[in-house]
């Protein structure tokens, strides 16, 4: 599991995914969000961040397929993505961590839990954004979703060749919120270590 998470983290470090923040890993779940950093909202289309997140999910699937080839395993990925407003913040006094909450986060979690292995499931609203951006989708149908009732969902099949790479970003010159929080935590640990020693 650690090797897979490390591979995903290395993938996330690529400049094309600079708008995506890893939020956390819990067990075998990897949570990431895009569009959180206002420095990435310059000339880009308002839906670039969702495209980056979907491209990251597709790249994660490809990364896992490569890992399976070389390790003779059959690991599979199930992805749920949603788009919309959310709330984020740093919580905790002893171990401060950045986390996100809200309907969009819950909906993405439900897209994951009701999805199929090897597939990226999205709700109708996200599907409409992606169709306009050249993604190929497969209609799944109505899916019972806890707390939502039945929702129309789609699977992301891929992206048409003519639009791949069209919406790449230049890396931000600003530190990400996650990097700032990480730096603060490390400084605090060093400070606490000096006091104890």
Catalytic positions are: 110, 146
- Partner residues linked to 80 by β-bridges: 121
Q: Spell out the long-range contacts of 180-189 with Cβ–Cβ below 8 A and sequence spacing 24 or more.
A: 181/90, 181/96, 181/97, 181/98, 184/96, 185/95, 185/96
> What does the radius of gyration of the chain's CA atoms come to, in whole angstroms?
18
Contact 69, 54 (CB under 8 A): no
- Burial track 153-163 (b if 16+ CB lie within 10 A, e otherwise): bbbbeebeeee
Angle between helices 48-71 and 124-132 (to 10 degrees): 90
């Amino acid at each position: 599991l650690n090797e897979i998470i490390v591979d995903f983290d290395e993938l996330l470090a690529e400049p094309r995914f600079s708008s995506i923040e890893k939020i956390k890993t819990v067990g075998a779940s990897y949570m990431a969000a895009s569009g959180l950093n206002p420095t990435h909202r310059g000339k880009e289309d308002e839906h670039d961040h969702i495209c980056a997140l979907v491209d990251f999910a597709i790249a994660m699937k490809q990364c896992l397929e490569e890992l399976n080839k070389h390790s003779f395993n059959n690991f599979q990925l199930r992805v749920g993505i949603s788009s919309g407003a959310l709330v984020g913040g740093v919580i905790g006094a002893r171990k401060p961590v950045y986390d996100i909450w809200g309907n969009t986060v819950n909906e993405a979690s439900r897209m994951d839990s009701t999805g199929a292995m090897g597939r990226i499931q999205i709700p109708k609203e996200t599907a409409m954004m992606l169709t306009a951006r050249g993604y190929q989708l497969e209609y799944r149908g109505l899916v019972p979703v806890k707390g939502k009732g039945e929702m129309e969902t789609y699977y992301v099949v891929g992206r048409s060749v003519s639009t791949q790479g069209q919406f790449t970003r230049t890396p931000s010159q600003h530190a990400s919120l996650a990097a700032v929080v990480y730096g603060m935590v490390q400084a605090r640990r060093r400070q606490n270590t000096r006091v104890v020693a």
